[in-house]
Amino acid sequence: MNVVADGGNKKTSRVRVAVRLRPYMDKQDEKGEGPCVRGLDSQNLEIINWRNATETVKYHFDVFHGEQTTQQQVFLSSVKPILPHILTGQNASVFAYGPTGAGKTHTMLGSSEKPGVIPRAVQEVFNLVKAKDEDEGWDYNIDMSYMEIYNEKVLDLLSPSAQDLPIREDKDKNIFIPGLTRTTISSFSDFDKHFVPASLNRTTASTKLNQRSSRSHAILLIKVVRTERSLPHRQQTGKLYLVDLAGSEDNRRTGNRGIRLKESGAINLSLFTLSKVVDSLNSGTAIRVPYRDSKLTRLLQDSLGGSAHSVMITNIAPEYKYYFDTFSALNFAAKSKLIVNKPFTRETVAVPVLPVKRTREDQEAGGSGNEPQKKKQKEERKSEQDGSSPSAHFHSLSEPSVMDRLIALEKLMMSCQDKDRITMLKDVAQSRKEIQELKEKQREFESKALLLSRLAREKSSTKEEAVFKNNTAPLQRKQSNPTKPNKQQAVVQPLQVSQLQPLQQLAVCKKQSVCVKKKEKKLSDQVEPPDGKENAENDWEFQLETSVLELSRQKILQVLNSGSLKELKGLQQIGDKKAKLILGWREIHGHFTKLEDLLKVEGMTAKRFSSFMKANILSAMGK
Ligand code: ADP
Ligand code: MG
């Protein structure tokens, strides 16, 4: 039975939200790009505003743990204080949220040198019980259960043969799982003895080790049952859930490698529902907290909100490649906190680091639309302002369709409470993926261009030089970068500079893709180190009229996007298997925006793509 906390007059208690930023994993990256997010003090952090690189978005949390924070500090500030409650029949939960690679497992489990929350909490529970033993008339019994939620199924990790366990509620509204193994533990080493092999069960249960562990929720339950020694032998049960959540990134991001729809949907459902639950609890306005909408929240129902003590540690990473995952993780975490979100003041952004000229109106607007977390009422007014200017200046910065979509998504995100949020988060992740891919391509082009121009020089072949000159476009990025931060003026400089790079790269990529011939040339360049033979082989495109070529490409794209299985198989070099993979890709990602998206389909190497293009374009033209 739970004792009602907070003086007994509170129906629900807030979920405390901590954010932990992990250090860079690679010192090179740190030097190279600088972080996209950083702490300001023990409660605030800022992240570069993707809508305007001269601004950052600030967030306020219960606690911010910077990259130097030790495991011990995280434990002391976020976890230790709630533990005494479970000895008095109250429930508690600690869960680590965030994208894969941001440090959830490090935070929860840690390593033998740097033990995380789980070992420390278990040790502390034993300490607390030990300290109690003598003076009060209670006997304490501690047991553990360890489970995993994968694909909306509850699996018992202490007894791996138990699959898909049901979740039930007793008449006192306690949640329990009939059939779940409960192992009594009498010491920390006892715990370790059971926990370690069970953890192995988790990861060895699947051949796709990493994928599975990043898509499942690992839930350790420590139960403290205390029984009064004298009559009437009252009994109280306190539960502590320690949860390493599934990665919050959009699982479809890896979908181009064949992820099953059901799986990604299920994981999103649990995390999505968790976000709704946390939202409802923390806003205090929800009439109904939607615990029942997913297994995870149903399981945590009596230990999240209500009289329970809950802490969410949102893990984030500093690298740019995590930007959108970080952004959405922060929004999830902060939404429940009514974010404090201020634009940088004019003085701090005075240095013109953007390669685009901002119009006077833009500047006067003082970074319009950099407040993604404002409340609904303000939002409506703002979105009108935002309608033109940010997209206008981002157009010149980057690939328009991606940025437009981000802007639209952000607006929606701000105005929509939760209903469509999952779709939007997915779309944000998708856009992020596109940006990442463009960046990667760009990088490839850059290195290729360097190599080739060197080669070209060696051969002093004028033709090649002309072709590859275009490939060196990204180097412009470097030319525009000398707008080095002026340390005296700009507090946010390191963030600004790094933001420029991806955006500029995008702009460059887009321009290239407009030129069909050159784009194709480059694509074929990606296949193999281009030598004379390779180039000659790909010259077929150069003999075609651009407009005719474009028309053929459109035709193929149309078949890819709307063709039936049969029609897909009608394409050159597309057999039954490929056609099905294309259909599957379409189901997950919507549609192919360009033919090059085919490269994301499983098994479609650049070489195959190149050959596919050649065969189909020639076929479309009747050659
Ligand atoms: P997740 O569980 O969120 O996927 P991990 O905990 O596996 O992420 O972290 C990814 C990598 O980063 C691991 O190598 C981990 O040891 C390291 N790491 C994470 N957080 C920290 C930290 N605070 N300090 C040092 N290394 C960390
Ligand atoms: Mg992990």
Can you give 212-262 as a three-state secondary structure string?
HHHHCEEEEEEEEEEEECCCCCCEEEEEEEEEECCCCCCHHHHHHHCCCHH
Q: Is 103's C-beta closer than 6 angstroms to any atom of ligand 1?
A: yes
> In the predicted model, what is the mean pLDDT of residues 479-501?
32
pLDDT for the residue 365: 35
Residue 375 pLDDT grade (very low, low, confident, very high; cuts 50, 70, 90): very low
Which of 25, 106, 267, 315 for a ligand 1 pocket mutation test, highest count of atoms within 8 Å of Cβ? 106
| Rounded average pLDDT over 367-383 | 36
Ligand 1 closest atom vs CA 109: 6
Residue 411 host element (H or E): helix 400-415
pTM of the model: 0.59
Q: Which residue has the higher pLDDT, 278 or 374?
A: 278
Q: How far apart (Å, rounded) are the C-alpha atoms in residues 259 and 419?
A: 24
Instruction: Evaluate: CB of 265 within 6 angstroms of ligand 1.
Output: no
576 — pLDDT class (breaks 50, 70, 90) = confident
Over range 393-398, report the average pLDDT: 32
Q: What is the mean pLDDT of residues 280-305?
A: 85
Give the residue-averaged pLDDT of 391-415.
45
Give the model's pLDDT for residue 145.
97
> How many other CB atoms sit within 10 Å of the CB of residue 422?
18
Q: Is the CB of 215 under 6 A from ligand 1?
A: no
Mean pLDDT of 45-57: 78
Arithmetic mean of pLDDT over the chain? 70
pLDDT at 403: 55
Confirm or reject: Cβ of 114 under 6 Å from ligand 1: no
Find the 105 Cα to ligand 2 centroid distance in Å: 4
Atom of ligand 1 nearest to the CA of 106: 6
Indicate the Cα dihedral angle 427, 430, 431, 433, nearest 10°. Answer: 160
Helices 376-386 and 400-415: crossing angle in degrees, nearest 10, is 160
What is the band of 432 on the pLDDT scale with cuts at 50, 70, 90?
Answer: low
Residue 118 has pLDDT above 90, yes or no: yes
For range 480-502, the mean pLDDT: 32
Cα of 426 from ligand 2 centre, angstroms: 20
Taking 80 as the threshold, does the pLDDT of residue 264 lie above it? no
- pLDDT > 90 in the chain, percent: 28
Question: Residue 317: which pLDDT band, with cuts at 50, 70 and 90?
Answer: very high
The DSSP letter of residue 43 is S
Instruction: Of 526, 47, 554, 10, give the one whose Cα is nearest residue 282.
Output: 10
In angstroms, rounded to a whole number, what is the distance separating the alpha carbons of residues 438 and 102? Answer: 23
User: For the chain, what percent of residues have pLDDT higher than 70?
Assistant: 61
318 Cβ below 6 A of ligand 1: no
Residue 470: predicted pLDDT:
33
From atom 5 of ligand 1, which residue's Cα is the shortest distance away? 103
The number of the ligand 1 atom at minimal distance from the alpha carbon of 244 is 2
SS3 (DSSP) at 338 = coil
106 lines ligand 1 (CB under 6 A): yes
DSSP states of 568-612 as a string?
HHTSTT--HHHHHHHHHHHHHH---SSGGGGGGSTT--HHHHHHH
Would you say the CB of residue 248 lies under 6 angstroms from ligand 1? no
pLDDT given for residue 425 in this prediction: 53
Q: Which residue has the higher pLDDT, 182 or 392?
A: 182
Q: Is the pLDDT of residue 30 over 50?
A: yes
- Ligand 1 pocket, residue 104 CB under 6 Å: yes
Which atom belonging to ligand 1 lies closest to the Cα atom of 100? 4
Out of 19, 20, 21, 22, give the residue to mutate to test ligand 1, the one with the largest number of ligand atoms within 8 Å of its CB: 22
pLDDT over 60 at 239, yes or no: yes
Tell me, using a 6 A CB cutoff, whether residue 105 lines ligand 1: yes
Indicate whether residue 505 lines ligand 1 (CB < 6 A): no
pLDDT one-digit tens code per residue, 540-549: 444 456 777 8
Tell me the one-letter amino acid at 271.
L
Ligand 1 contact via 315 beta carbon (within 6 Å): yes
Taking the centre of ligand 2 as the mean of its atom positions, its distance from the CA of residue 412, in whole angstroms, is: 30
98 lines ligand 1 (CB under 6 A): yes
Instruction: Take residue 397 and report the two structure tokens written for it.
Output: 């910065």
Q: For residue 265, what pLDDT is reported?
A: 53
C-beta 102 within 6 A of ligand 1: yes
Distance 104 CA to ligand 1 centre (A): 7
Could you tell me the two tokens for 611?
A: 């050959």
Q: How far is CA 49 from the centre of its chain?
A: 17
Tell me whether residue 501 is exposed, middle or buried, using C-beta atoms within 10 angstroms of its C-beta: 0 to 12, 13 to 18, 19 or more.
buried
pLDDT of residue 381: 36
65 band by pLDDT with thresholds 50, 70 and 90: very high
The response to whether residue 194 sits with its C-beta less than 6 Å from ligand 1 reads no
pLDDT digits (tens, 9 = 90+) for 87-107: 999 999 999 999 989 999 999
What pLDDT score was predicted for residue 268? 58
Query: Which atom of ligand 1 has the smallest separation from the CA of 99?
Result: 3
Ligand 2 center–CA 324 separation, angstroms: 19
Q: What is the 3-state secondary structure (H, E, C) of 144-192?
A: EEEEEEECCEEEECCCCCCCCCCCEECCCCCEECCCCCCEECCCHHHHH
Note the ligand closest to the C-alpha atom of 98.
1
The token pair that represents 146 in the structure block? 């360890």
